[in-house]
Amino acid sequence: MAAREYGQYCGITRALELIGERWALLLVRDLLVGPRRYSELAAGLPRIPTNILAARLKELQDAGILRRAPRSRVIVYELTPYGRELEPVVLALGAWGFKAMGDPRDEQIITPDSMTMALRTAFRPLVAADLPATVYATRLGPAELLVRVDGAALAVTRGDGPADLTFAAGPGIRRLISGELAPDRAIATGVVEVLHGRGELLDRFASTFHLAAA
Amino acid sequence: MAAREYGQYCGITRALELIGERWALLLVRDLLVGPRRYSELAAGLPRIPTNILAARLKELQDAGILRRAPRSRVIVYELTPYGRELEPVVLALGAWGFKAMGDPRDEQIITPDSMTMALRTAFRPLVAADLPATVYATRLGPAELLVRVDGAALAVTRGDGPADLTFAAGPGIRRLISGELAPDRAIATGVVEVLHGRGELLDRFASTFHLAAA
DNA sequence: CTGGATCCCGTATGATACTG
DNA sequence: CAGTATCATACGGGATCCAG
């Protein structure tokens, strides 16, 4: 038996053998947003040593979770269908871990891909289905994301564009998502800065994206 | 920053910092079944070194996931409410890992607690709600479990007792759960041995407990 | 006997430098 | 850009030992 196996005939055990190693599920998190090149993955996980990144990519490939795909002269890594089935796991972990997030510390960064998955985690399709289609352009730290909500469908893409509401926020956005901070208070205190559009649309945003706090 | 932190302000990252260490989620898995003593946890994870077990229990306690509770002179470890909120994570992982379980190897064991959580993972409350209440007494390797299904409610307890259907099975039970093996074929080939009750009740069992295969 | 603590060692991880 | 090579260290694994 391989040394790192748990020696149990059990689905949870098997899952942890495949994606339980350090950094593995964070790579899956970023690849759930879309295919990524090696350097993009490294940029999204600045603290991963490059040898570990290479090792994980190889292991996840051997496990059938991702594949290397040539895209016109460059290699991108993309999840296989089996790898994409990890999305419920990642979202469940994100919702659980959200409650244990304190206030951000200086050295903690926010990446576009992690923010995208956080928005997917917080998205409430049943609530959104009853609201008008809305486009939000957000600047969350270094992440510029265009968030399109149309009925129960959510699409988050990088970059800018025309939007019903454009706003910038720091990590304090967490308190808006958790409901600890009301939308109007968030604007009044400067946690959220409305750059364009009607500020009342932030109410809709907070209704659409919500996660229970601790 | 602690060396083992990922340096990102992200719920998934936070979750992995709390329960991403080796063995941690397996301890949670067993504690989701019920409070356990130190020696019971060690017995359920025969390959965990005792120092690691002690270290994990301390870390999980510091993280607010479990607590030490004195129960009439002995200490038991039990999940806190926040720890119990990991159940969706564990079930999602179990369902995903189920698809990657091959055939069992000799050194792979089945424990009562892991089997209990596997049954919870495979349980289909919406299907069970339309079926009569049923008690199954199962012997799955070393695990004797009494499985009570009543409407959409499932209760799995250790031990024996009166049941509508009593059966024994080895790890081949996986192919029954996945639908690869029909209930009558499972009995005919000896994968499942009916010890008491009408064998047709195994159909009901297979309808109630089902997980998609690869 | 339970519930650990201690010791030693191997391996995985991490930091950094280097290369096709 | 996409990794590989090298070295230091911290964690995991196994055996043993200890206190209540």
| CATH number reported for the structural domain that contains residue A29 in this entry | 1.10.10.10
Burial of A74 (0-12, 13-18, 19+ CB in 10 A): exposed
Taken in order B172, B173, B174, B175, the sign of the CA dihedral is positive
- pLDDT at A1 (0 to 100): 60
Which positions on chain C have an atom < 7 Å from some protein CB?
A: 1-7, 11-17
Distance CA B88, CA A5 (A): 23
pLDDT-derived band of residue A30, with 50, 70 and 90 as boundaries?
very high
Domain co-membership, A128 together with A194: yes
pLDDT-derived band of residue A214, with 50, 70 and 90 as boundaries?
confident
Separation between the CA of A41 and the C1’ of D5 (whole angstroms): 21
Residues of B in contact with A93 (CB under 8 A): 11-12, 15-16, 89
Which tens digit of pLDDT belongs to each residue from B143-162?
A: 999 999 999 999 999 999 99
Domain co-membership, A151 together with A193: yes
Q: What is the mean pLDDT of residues B130-150?
A: 96
Domain termination site, one of A85, A114, A138: A85
Domain co-membership, A45 together with A111: no
Q: Are A127 and A151 in contact (CB under 8 A)?
A: no
- Structure-block tokens of residue A133: 């289609």
Domain co-membership, B41 together with B113: no
Cβ <8 Å between B26 and A13: yes
Computed over its alpha carbons, how large is the radius of gyration of chain B? 19
Please determine, for residue B118, whether its predicted confidence score (pLDDT) is greater than 80.
Answer: yes
Using DSSP, state whether A132 is helix, strand or coil: coil
Distance CA B189, CA B185 (A): 6
How many angstroms separate the Cα of B99 from the Cα of each of A14, B15, B27, B174, B175?
9, 24, 22, 10, 11
Please determine, for residue B2, whether its predicted confidence score (pLDDT) is greater than 80.
Answer: no
Q: Which residue is nearest to nucleotide D12 (CA to C1')?
A: B52
Query: What nucleotide is nearest B22 when CA is compared to C1'?
Result: D12
- Structure-block tokens of residue A13: 């055990």
Cβ <8 Å between A117 and B12: yes
Residue B1 covered by a domain: no
- pLDDT at B1 (0 to 100): 60
Q: Which residue is nearest to nucleotide C16 (CA to C1')?
A: A49
Residue A92 covered by a domain: no
Distance CA B180, CA B187 (A): 14
Distance CA A209, CA B105 (A): 45
Using DSSP, state whether A78 is helix, strand or coil: strand
Residue A6 covered by a domain: no
CA A203 from centre of chain: 22
Q: Dihedrals φ, ψ of A154, to 5°?
A: -125, 135
CB distance under 7 Å to strand C: residues: A 3-4, 21-23, 47-52, 55; B 3-4, 37-40, 49-51, 54, 57, 68, 74-75
Cβ <8 Å between A86 and B96: yes
Residues of A in contact with B9 (CB under 8 A): 101, 104-105, 108-110, 171
Domain co-membership, A129 together with A176: yes
Domain co-membership, A26 together with A75: yes
The answer to whether strand D lies under 7 Å from the CB of residue A72 is: no
What is the enclosing helix (H) or strand (E) of B108?
none
Q: Dihedrals φ, ψ of B183, to 5°?
A: -55, -45
pLDDT > 90: percent of chain A: 91
Closest by Cα among A97, A177, A103, A102 to B82:
A97
Q: Are A65 and A58 in contact (CB under 8 A)?
A: no
- pLDDT at B71 (0 to 100): 87
Computed over its alpha carbons, how large is the radius of gyration of chain A? 19
Residue A156 covered by a domain: yes
B61-85 CB burial, b ≥16 within 10 A, e <16: eebebbeeeeeeeeebbebeebbeb
Please determine, for residue A3, whether its predicted confidence score (pLDDT) is greater than 80.
Answer: no
Q: What is the mean pLDDT of residues A15-25?
A: 97
Query: What nucleotide is nearest A49 when CA is compared to C1'?
Result: C14
Domain co-membership, A113 together with A201: yes
Number of domains in chain A: 2
CA atoms within 13 Å, Cβ hemisphere of A103: 4
Please determine, for residue B120, whether its predicted confidence score (pLDDT) is greater than 80.
Answer: yes
Please list, in sequence order, all residues whose beta carbon lies within 8 angstroms of the beta carbon of residue B92, skipping any fewer than 6 positions away.
Answer: A88, A89, A92
Distance CA B24, CA A7 (A): 15
Cβ <8 Å between A63 and B8: no
Domain co-membership, A76 together with A121: no
Domain termination site, one of B85, B120, B142: B85
Nearest to B11 among A11, A18, A98 (CB): A98
Residues of B in contact with A108 (CB under 8 A): 7-9
The answer to whether strand D lies under 7 Å from the CB of residue B55 is: yes
Residue A91 covered by a domain: no
Residue B95 covered by a domain: no
Q: Are A12 and B29 in contact (CB under 8 A)?
A: yes
Which tens digit of pLDDT belongs to each residue from A134-156?
A: 999 999 988 999 999 999 999 99
CA atoms within 13 Å, Cβ hemisphere of B52: 12
CATH code, domain with A188? 3.30.1050.10
Domain co-membership, A24 together with A111: no
The answer to whether strand D lies under 7 Å from the CB of residue B3 is: yes
Which tens digit of pLDDT belongs to each residue from B46-83?
A: 999 999 999 999 999 999 999 999 888 899 999 999 99
Query: Which residues pair with residue A8 across a beta bridge?
Result: B109
What is the enclosing helix (H) or strand (E) of A140?
strand A134-140
Query: What nucleotide is nearest A73 when CA is compared to C1'?
Result: D1
Domain co-membership, A146 together with A199: yes
Please determine, for residue A2, whether its predicted confidence score (pLDDT) is greater than 80.
Answer: no
As a whole number, the mean pLDDT across chain A is 96
**Residue span of the structural domain in which B203 resides:** 104-208
Please determine, for residue B170, whether its predicted confidence score (pLDDT) is greater than 80.
Answer: yes
Distance CA B205, CA B128 (A): 9
Residue A2 covered by a domain: no
Domain co-membership, A73 together with A41: yes
What is the enclosing helix (H) or strand (E) of A91?
helix A87-98
pLDDT-derived band of residue A185, with 50, 70 and 90 as boundaries?
very high
Predicted TM-score (pTM) of the model is 0.96
Which tens digit of pLDDT belongs to each residue from A54-107?
A: 999 999 999 999 999 999 889 999 999 999 999 999 999 999 999 999 999 988
Cβ <8 Å between A12 and B109: no
Domain co-membership, A200 together with A118: yes
Distance CA A79, CA A73 (A): 19
Q: Are B177 and B151 in contact (CB under 8 A)?
A: no
| Full DSSP string of A2-25 | -TT---B--HHHHHHHHH-STTHH
Residues of A in contact with B63 (CB under 8 A): 100
Domain termination site, one of A85, A115, A132: A85
- pLDDT at B3 (0 to 100): 73
Residue A49 covered by a domain: yes
